[in-house]
Structure 1
Amino acid sequence: MTAPVDIQNLSITFGTGPGAVKVLPSVSFAVAAGECFGLVGESGSGKSTVLRCVSLLTDIWTGTVKIAGKDVRSLPLRERCRLVQMVFQDPYGSLHPRQSVRTVLSEPLRIHGIGDRDARMRQALVDVGLPVDFLDRFPHQLSGGQRQRVAIARALILEPSVLLLDEPTSALDVSVQAEILNLLARLRELRGFTYIMVTHDLAVVDHMCDRFAVMQHGTITETLPRAAIAGNLATHPYARELIGASLEYEGHGRG
């Protein structure tokens, strides 16, 4: 089941009084069901904070976030976990070093009272391109790319509608990045997931996203279709500068 995401007037302030810092002044955007929507911008622009708000990992924000027409704040925890899951940037930090892959994948099923666990865990590994005998391995026995595949399998095990992807390849070797991106693209095609993907790499956006928003200082400067990258069709000065720098870098890299 696919689900749209609607974010309106999302705002978050850290601290109080004169020292308060408004990290997100007011962010609004909508993502269609089954769409991959990118958030790009320099470090500290608020991209990952948006994902943390949507997932309620941070809950001190104001505004509204609706998934499949339901306000995330009003959803019971279990229902929210079945609806939206997150894949983090660092596959080394997001898996418990003393828990086997079997434990990582079985725990969500146990918490949610889902049966047929062994078959579901095996299928989850197959879905992310890992052998089923990896169930009894530990994170230190896996490569970075394999760990991220396990993290994706963990996000998929509850069959969510929306995946929040926080730079899911930036901590990986370049040779592995394309494998993970292709995996994510294939899963979306097969399952109809809605993706919100945070990245600093416009080449990733060009490969994965239907549309993307350029963020600066916690605000969205411009929302563009993927096709706007090649000819740098942005109109906002910062968005044009960001896309231009990326195109120049890619050009030098190919040269």
Structure 2
Amino acid sequence: MKPLSIRDLSVSFGALRVLHDISFDVRAGECFGLVGESGSGKSTVLSCAAMLWSQWTGRVEIDGVSVQDMSPAERCRTLQMVFQDPYGSLHPRHAIRTVLSEPLKIQGFDNRDARMEQALGDVGLPVDFLDRYPHQLSGGQRQRVAIARALIVEPDVLLLDEPTSALDVSVQAEILNLLAKLRDEKGFTYIMVSHDLAVVDHMCDRFAVMQTGRVVEVLDHDAISSNGATEPYARELIAASLEYERIA
């Protein structure tokens, strides 16, 4: 369990600046949400933190150590990411055994069979799924495998990029409950990107509202039900979500 700090994170694509001096802190063991409309820069923040995009300025630190100063192996051991699309994040020609064994080989873990079986058990899948292929799994099962792949190297921080948005509503609830259970059991620190404030309400201790590449306001979880935001955009976003929930 380690804290994460982001300071003055900025990204430009040519003349277009897409992140403007983003700063926030995530406490050790906390689930911190990033919310905002499409194009606000939420997923870009995660891509920078994971060094999937390296052309940025500022500082991203995990327990005081910059991700830019970590070796790739150390960074992947410390930080893992679960992507939005469970259909695109698994290699279609690789059995689940290969999907889970590769990170263990790269990181030099022993007892690989036992670790793979444990990882599947942690996400609620039977051991015989090791010999299945992605096309033999449902969307929810694929996302559970993706979570198992992220967890198997025992990271301190998990970056969750809309991990349930591509799933049916009933499966969404299962995955969210699984993530909450794993955080309670293993003490992970989460950053979760979501469009859905109901998901943030269920999962997150605090959250940042983003607009056009800026953090508008950082709020406690309780601000959703009471609409305790002070910035106009944040208030409008929460009010629209509450109205939608009321109508639905």
User: Where in structure 2 are the equivalents of 1:68-83 lying within 5 Å?
Assistant: 68-83=63-78
Q: Which residue is equivalent to 1:38?
A: 33
Give distance in 2, aligned partners of 1:98 and 1:249: 41
Match of 1:129 among 124, 128, 133: 124
Give distance in 1, aligned partners of 2:206 and 2:170: 25
Give distance in 1, aligned partners of 2:91 and 2:23: 34
Amino acid at match of 2:40: S
Residue by residue over 1:30-81, the C-alpha shift from the partner in whole angstroms, topping out at 9 and shown as x without a partner, is 0000000000000000000000000000000000000011010000111111
Residue correspondences, number: 248
Give distance in 2, aligned partners of 1:118 and 1:189: 25
Measure how far apart 1:227 and its partner are: 0.2
Q: Percent identity at matched positions?
A: 72
Give distance in 2, aligned partners of 1:112 and 1:243: 42
User: Structure 2: where are the runs of 5+ without partners?
Assistant: none
Measure how far apart 1:154 and its partner are: 0.1
Residue by residue over 1:147-183, the C-alpha shift from the partner in whole angstroms, topping out at 9 and shown as x without a partner, is 0000000000100000000000000011100000000
Residue by residue over 1:186-233, the C-alpha shift from the partner in whole angstroms, topping out at 9 and shown as x without a partner, is 000000000000000000000000000000000000000010001111
Give distance in 2, aligned partners of 1:25 and 1:78: 29
Q: Which residue is equivalent to 1:84?
A: 79
Q: Which residue is equivalent to 1:233?
A: 228
Q: Which residue is equivalent to 2:9?
A: 10
Instruction: List, as ranges, runs of 4+ consecutive aligned residues in structure 1 with deviation greater than 2 Å.
Output: none
What's the secondary structure of 1:43's corresponding residue? coil
User: Structure 1: where are the runs of 5+ without partners?
Assistant: none
Measure how far apart 1:96 and its partner are: 0.4
Amino acid at match of 1:243: I
Query: Is residue 187 of structure 1 aligned with residue 182 of structure 2?
Result: yes
Q: Which residue is equivalent to 1:99?
A: 94
Give distance in 1, aligned partners of 2:227 and 2:84: 27
Compute the RMSD of aligned alpha carbons. Answer: 0.4
Measure how far apart 1:112 and its partner are: 1.4
What's the secondary structure of 1:114's corresponding residue? coil
Give distance in 1, aligned partners of 2:239 and 2:173: 23
Query: Is residue 152 of structure 1 aligned with residue 147 of structure 2?
Result: yes
Give distance in 1, aligned partners of 2:63 and 2:187: 14
Query: Is residue 170 of structure 1 aligned with residue 169 of structure 2?
Result: no
Amino acid at match of 2:207: F
